[in-house]
Amino acid sequence: MKKLPNILAFTGFTVLCALAFLVPKEPNPKVQPKETITVTEELKQTYPVKISIESIGVNAPIEAVGILDGAMAVPTFGHNVGWYSLGTKPGEVGSSVLAGHVNWKNGEDAVFTNLKNIQIGDTVSVTNNYGNMDHFKVTKIQSYPIYADTTQIFSADDGIVRLNLITCTGDWNDWLDTHSERLVVFTEKIY
């Protein structure tokens, strides 16, 4: 069983956002899809490599991130998206989480600078290392205060294939060296 951190955090340079969310101490038991799917060794070895969101001009590489100092590690570069690789893979039943910076060094735009402009019904596409794509439809957009309990973002047990995107939003807090809120875009797989 995969262990999730108690707190998920992204930290970085002064102009970078820091995401902090509570996640379950233990993930929910695997939910079986309504159809039985035979999992081959090839499918076990898949991982996401690219995200595309045409409506806001995102076409970016995905890097796997894990836990660093008890928190989710931050993407290496401002134009990369981090996939929480200790959780669900995009396209699998449950909640897969991708996060990216809203800004970068010297105030430069980052991968999710325009995530605030995404609309319900927009499509998010994720390509894996075999070139296969999963498409997701935006179903909900919500902002959370920095220390809100957001465990539902990282785990779902309703049998739905979800992809949740996270970035910073709200006012900059000099004292905390981060934005005051987190923007979460909830999506569900399109079949």
Distance between CA 25 and CA 20 in Å, rounded? 15
In a domain, 33, yes or no: no
In a domain, 177, yes or no: yes
Helix (H, G, I), strand (E, B) or coil at 117: helix
In a domain, 32, yes or no: no
Backbone torsions φ then ψ of 106, nearest 5 degrees: 55, 25
Radius of gyration of the chain (CA): 16
In a domain, 159, yes or no: yes
In a domain, 148, yes or no: yes
Distance between CA 79 and CA 20 in Å, rounded? 20
Percent of the chain with pLDDT over 90: 53
Count of the separate structural domains present in the chain: 1
User: How many CB atoms lie under 10 A from the CB of residue 44?
Assistant: 8
Distance between CA 86 and CA 27 in Å, rounded? 10
Q: What is the pLDDT of residue 70?
A: 67
Distance between CA 140 and CA 163 in Å, rounded? 11
Residue 16 CB partners (closer than 8 Å, separation 6+) = 10, 74, 78, 101, 103, 104, 105, 110
Q: What is the pLDDT of residue 2?
A: 43
Average pLDDT, the chain: 80
88 has pLDDT over 60 = yes
Domain with 49 in it: 7-25+38-189
* Mean pLDDT of the region 186-191: 97
In a domain, 68, yes or no: yes
In a domain, 1, yes or no: no
79 has pLDDT over 60 = yes
What's 169's domain CATH number?
Answer: 2.40.260.10
In a domain, 116, yes or no: yes
Report pTM. Answer: 0.78
Distance between CA 56 and CA 71 in Å, rounded? 28
Q: What is the pLDDT of residue 40?
A: 55
User: How many CB atoms lie under 10 A from the CB of residue 183?
Assistant: 22
pLDDT in tens, 127-174: 999 999 999 999 999 999 887 887 888 888 899 999 999 998 888 878
